[in-house]
Amino acid sequence: MKFEALVGIAGILGLVSFSTLIQKIYDTHNTTSLPWTWVALNITAQLLSMIYGIANGAYGIYIPNSLFLLGLLYILYVKVMHKPKNEKEAKERNKQM
């Protein structure tokens, strides 16, 4: 690819941006602002983009995409398995009162 370095840089910048969302979800376990359609469509988009990158030998595409995909799978895991920490704490406080 002629400008693969550009797409690699874009992928890295996207990952830095995405990492703030992952950190917030890790801290709060709150994914209520992320609808199921957002999660599903983003996972699908990253899979398709990763397949394209692999098929074309474009490391700058499929390496960042695989990291995005791991982050999205973590979001999916939290969405399925956890309630927000703030919500849990509020329920515990209400039980104690």
User: Could you tell me the pTM of the whole model?
Assistant: 0.77
Alpha helix ranges (H) inside the chain: 4-28, 36-55, 59-81, 85-96
Hey, where are the domains in the chain? 4-84
CB 7 within 8 A of CB 1: yes
CATH of domain 4-84: 1.20.1280
- Residue 28 contacts by C-beta under 8 Å, 6 or more apart in sequence? 84, 85, 86
pLDDT in tens, the chain (97 residues): 577 778 878 888 999 999 999 999 999 999 989 999 999 999 999 999 999 989 988 888 888 889 999 999 999 999 999 876 666 665 665 566 5
